[in-house]
Amino acid sequence: MNDKESGKLTKSADKVGVPKEVYLRMLIMGTTPKEKPEADFYGMMKELNAIGNSINQIAKVANLKGFINVKAYEENVRRLNEFIVEISKSVFTPERRNDKWLLQEFGL
């Protein structure tokens, strides 16, 4: 590997937030690494988690006072949690590539 290639590898691995060795393994295994999300992503996820915590606190108080629509509450919490998981997956999960040379070379 020449200096230019090594520099590109280092820069690409840094963008993903993994060591070069891990980045290369991901490529070899046929995945497309995703770059680390911007800082605002973490702020949004923190906010969504705070909303979930607030929902739980409201539900505890409502339950103690004897008035809560349990079914509606559980459905909203389920939807919020699914939304958080989907966002995290879309940002962090590498995508499978469909490179023909990988399929032929490595039997993937």
In 13-29, which positions are buried (b, 16+ CB within 10 angstroms) versus exposed (e)?
beebebeeeebeebbee
Written as six digits, the tokens of 18 are 């993994």
pLDDT above 70 (res 46)? yes
pLDDT of 31 reads: 84
pTM for this model (two decimals):
0.52
pLDDT recorded at residue 100 = 63
Confidence of residue 6 (pLDDT cuts 50, 70, 90): very high
Q: Give Cα separations from 36 to 41, 88, 103 (angstroms).
A: 10, 11, 27
